[in-house]
Amino acid sequence: MTDKKPVVDEQSSGQELSIEQRATVGLSQGAIVRRRFLQHRGAVVSVFVLLFLVLLAFTSVGTVIGGTGKLTPDPSGTRLIVDGFRIPGWWGYTWWERYDIMLPGGAPTFTWWPFSFGEHPFGQDNTGKDVFARVMRGMQQSLNVVFIVGIISTVIGVVLGALAGYYRGWVDQVIMRLTDVIIIVPLLILGAVLGQTIGGDAFLLAVMIGLIAWTGMARLVRAEFLSLREREFVDAARVAGASDFRIIFRHILPNTVGVIVVSATLLMSAVILLETSLSFLGFGITAPDISLGQIISEYNEAFKTRPWLFWWPGLFIVVIALCINFIGDGLRDAFDPRQKRVPRQRSLGSEIGNFFKAYIPGARPGDGTSNK
Amino acid sequence: MLTFVARRLVATLLVLLVASFIVYVLTANSGDPLRELRGSRDPSAQDQIAYLSGLLNLDQPPVLRYFSWLGGVGACFIGQCDLGISVARGQQPVIEAIGGALGSTLQLVLAATILAIVIGVAIGMTTALRQYSGYDYVVTFLTFVFYSLPIFWVAVLLKEFGAIQFNSFLGNPVIPWWSILIIGVVMGFIASSIVGGELRTRVISFVSVGGGIAALLILLDVTRWFESPSIGFVGIALMSVATAAVVLFTSTGFHNRRALLAVGIIVVLTVILSWPFQFLFYYVNSPWTVLLVLAILVGLGLLVGFFVGGDGKAVVARTAAIVGGLGVLPLVLDQMFIRWDEYVARIPLSNGVIATIGASTPAIRRVDDTWLNMLDSLTHMLLPTIALMIISLAAYTRYARASLLDVMNQDYVRTARAKGLGERTVVMRHAFRNAMIPIATIIALDFGAVIGGAVITERVFAWQAMGSLFNEGLHRIDVNLVMGFFLVTGILAVIFNVIADLLYSALDPRIRVS
């Protein structure tokens, strides 16, 4: 909880301010959080990498909005067209059409020296499809699932957690027992059963996962509400005549935003692994739709002969999950300064210096052991 | 404490009951179990559809079918289990399918969980004690990476690289000099970071551990150990001394002469007794022998500790008993590696030594030799266990680190230091126990991830175990098979929860009292 904004009033101005206070005097809550977040180098880099990946995925091969994604031959009969509103991208190939195989076996045309991407930098599969286009489309779908699940389960988790924590009593009992029932079934199992029911569509799958992935969020928000509802500002609001709705959403909820943001981020990194795992097992996104897990599942058997079909989708899964995890860590540091890392100012270089200083003739005893 | 556990148990069972209803109805609604038959042009298809519909009561709504299934499960209490039949597996009773699949999944899940807890807590604690060191940063970064790894990707990589590379290495076991160098440097770095302190101590630990491991590797390489690995007296002695050193370092420290003496006696006894135990292992060829030997060695440890202990009988006896108990490991490993040549001769020619398919070799399953079967299980379980462990490992490491850091900043730790206790006593006796309380909660929470991971790992390594029950059952909408899987995972979930609660109440006196 970082709702204590340091204020320099007349009584405390005589006291010494800590470095933290001095640095934050006169800053708004948002500015403090932003500053702390920017200090986490890994998180900042991750934000840029993730933005780059999102841009790359959506602009390169374009996207399809709405429609069923089914493939039908166009009137002239030479090309397949995809159902839905197609926005083309700057990449010349599509993820569903077959092309002439350039190198033997469809090997990647990417070379370091001379540096060139070639026609199919990630290679081609055994039918001649462009792997780069497929991976980009798969990444789009995986990212879509991540964001949809993130939004749906955060909303459900926050509302249910808030109601349970604020009203307590039978409301709390009902909501928490529901949470227990969902949590005891491994998420992968429940997701697989739901995924089998809806049969392979990315959007529906995301909605389904969103409907079951909110339990952790609900528990956290409930715990926050249980402690915050006893605070004075809630009493003050109630005395002033605020309705329950207003107290929950205008007074208490803003104080829990840190917990919500952090846990939503970590949830999203778990979701990309869940979605790709489901698709790998064949219960998530299935052909003709594409996701990163579905690509690995489709090409699993070809690993020995065409390893590039396996490397690229896996690499992008790891990078996306890693970025989201780092951003979550940075947000946690920003919202919860108790867990912030304050590295000691010490480097190996100075230590080695001390070591030699301690052993040269004439050095005073104890010189080299200052790092206790 | 018992009422606490019992109350939790009843609550978990009720929750499980409701969850089973939801899973049953959802699975039943997820598709048509007779889809393949309906599309078939076989003239007998209609008869089969009618027959199977009657057998599975498909004319009833799923809710009613659930209660008749539940009735079959309830009959288990009077010894007449009926979990229905599996359409996907040629009308095999589900209880038979579970019986054939349960063992290997249980081994996999338990081995991965226990290893993840032990290794994860150890790594997490050492990083917490050496906060902001290079080792801490490296480990923290690695936990992030492990946290972000999809388990199916890791499993496929381990299968295609780990197994195949290691098998081809065993074909021509020459360790290149650069890998000896890298392993030595990495191990030395880890050791020096954990020991910490002044630069001089660090350099000493770096050189001794890194150099020692490099020397061991060179020795193994020169003596061509990998061609026919064995353990023998020397191996048993080395491993016993190493475990004794680790246990002593964490429990009493080397300055406690009586503990040192007791542990020394136990190590010598283990090495001497390994000769008569060989005959015991040979003639009483059953897994229970392991427990018997364990009991003997622990008993010896307690006795030696009691007589040598002096003032600190309890502590010395406990330390010696732990060392004695761990002494079983090299003895069993020795038995397994004695049968190495027999194992290599019996596995199919196309397979490498480290297996990548299935949970055991059928030809070896038919041989009535416990230790040979153990070795076979070990080579089959090695890679799936690593794959499954890596994911949980990251979680345990992170929680153990955060939890110990939290505890080390508490007032009572400062009090313990202030009254003059050594750092080892403060960490192991005062901080460790309290730091473990949150970990006990994680064990129950992590369970879902382990089961999900097992389903994926078993799929990658082609195990015919519980995971394949679920995959097959769900792909073909065989509700009874899926529910059989769910029942087993549900029971496992209950067991994990009870273990977590027991640990919780053992660690936290407040729960025992109320």
Put simply, the chain A residues between 290 and 309 with a CB less than 8 A from any chain B CB are 293, 296, 300, 303-304
Q: Give the H/E segment covering residue B199.
A: helix B199-222
| CA-based radius of gyration for chain A | 27
Treating both helix axes as pointing N-terminal to C-terminal, what angle do B370-408 and B432-460 enclose, rounded to 10 degrees? Answer: 140
| Cβ <8 Å between B160 and A197 | no
Residues in CB range of B370: below 8 A, 6 or more apart: B285, B286, B287, B289
Can you name the residues that pair with A71 across neighbouring β-strands?
A82
| Residue B294 pLDDT | 93
Judge whether A81 is closer than 8 Å to chain B, CB to CB.
Answer: no
Average confidence (pLDDT) per 10 residues, chain B, 514 residues:
82 90 91 78 79 81 89 82 81 86 89 92 91 86 90 88 82 83 90 82 89 89 82 87 89 85 92 88 86 92 88 87 91 88 80 78 82 87 91 89 90 93 88 88 81 91 89 90 90 85 82 64
A71-73 and A80-82 beta bridge pairing: antiparallel
| Residue A64 pLDDT | 83
| Residue B249 pLDDT | 85
| Cβ <8 Å between B31 and A187 | no
What are the structural domain ranges in chain B? 2-98+452-507
pLDDT higher for A82 or A243? A243
Q: Is the pLDDT of residue A73 over 90?
A: no
CA distances from A97 to A72, A88, B184, B382 (A): 11, 14, 51, 41
What's the CA gap between B175 and B177, in Å, rounded? 6
DSSP line for A43-62: HHHHHHHHHHHHHHHHHHS-
| Cβ <8 Å between B486 and A314 | no
| B32 burial level (CB within 10 Å; 0-12, 13-18, 19+) | exposed
Shortest Cα distance, chain A CAs vs residue B395, angstroms: 12
Angle B127-B396-B489 (CA atoms, 0-180°, nearest 5)?
Answer: 170
Average pLDDT over residues A189-193: 93
| A17 burial level (CB within 10 Å; 0-12, 13-18, 19+) | middle
The partner residue sitting opposite B30, judged by closest CB among A187, A196, A339, is A196
* Selection from A288, A254, A234 nearest residue A83 by Cα: A288
Q: Which residue in B has a C-alpha nearest to residue A342's C-alpha? A: B132
Write down the pTM of the prediction.
Answer: 0.86
The partner residue sitting opposite B451, judged by closest CB among A180, A186, A273, is A186
Q: Is the pLDDT of residue A83 over 80?
A: no
What's the CA gap between B508 and B510, in Å, rounded? 5
Residues in CB range of B508: below 8 A, 6 or more apart: B437
What's the CA gap between B336 and B145, in Å, rounded? 35
The partner residue sitting opposite B26, judged by closest CB among A197, A282, A329, is A197
B95 SS3 class: helix
Q: Which amino acid is at A317?
A: I
| Cβ <8 Å between A296 and B147 | no
The structure tokens listed for B184 are: 């030595």
Q: Which long-range contacts (CB under 8 A, 24 or more apart) does B52-60 make?
A: B52/B87, B55/B85, B55/B91, B56/B84, B56/B87, B56/B479, B56/B480, B58/B33, B58/B34
> Residue holding tokens 């110990």?
B404
The partner residue sitting opposite B150, judged by closest CB among A189, A194, A273, is A273
Q: Which residue in B has a C-alpha nearest to residue A305's C-alpha? A: B160
pLDDT higher for A107 or A232? A232
Average pLDDT over residues A218-222: 93
| Cβ <8 Å between B493 and A184 | yes
Q: Give the H/E segment covering residue A71.
A: strand A71-73
ipTM of the complex: 0.87
**Phi–psi pair at A64, nearest 5 degrees:** -125, 125
Predicted confidence band of residue A367 (pLDDT cuts 50, 70, 90)? very low
CA B126 to chain centroid: 21
Shortest Cα distance, chain B CAs vs residue A291, angstroms: 14
The structure tokens listed for A184 are: 């005891």
Q: Which amino acid is at B26?
A: L
Query: What domains can you pick out in chain A, each with its CATH number?
Result: 48-57+137-340 (1.10.3720.10), 346-372 (no CATH)
| Cβ <8 Å between B482 and A348 | no
Q: With beta carbons less than 8 A apart as the criterion, state whether A157 and A214 touch.
A: yes
In a mutational test of the B interface, the residue from A273, A294, A359 whose CB has the highest number of chain B CBs within 10 Å is: A273
In a mutational test of the B interface, the residue from A280, A306, A356, A369 whose CB has the highest number of chain B CBs within 10 Å is: A280
A116 SS3 class: strand
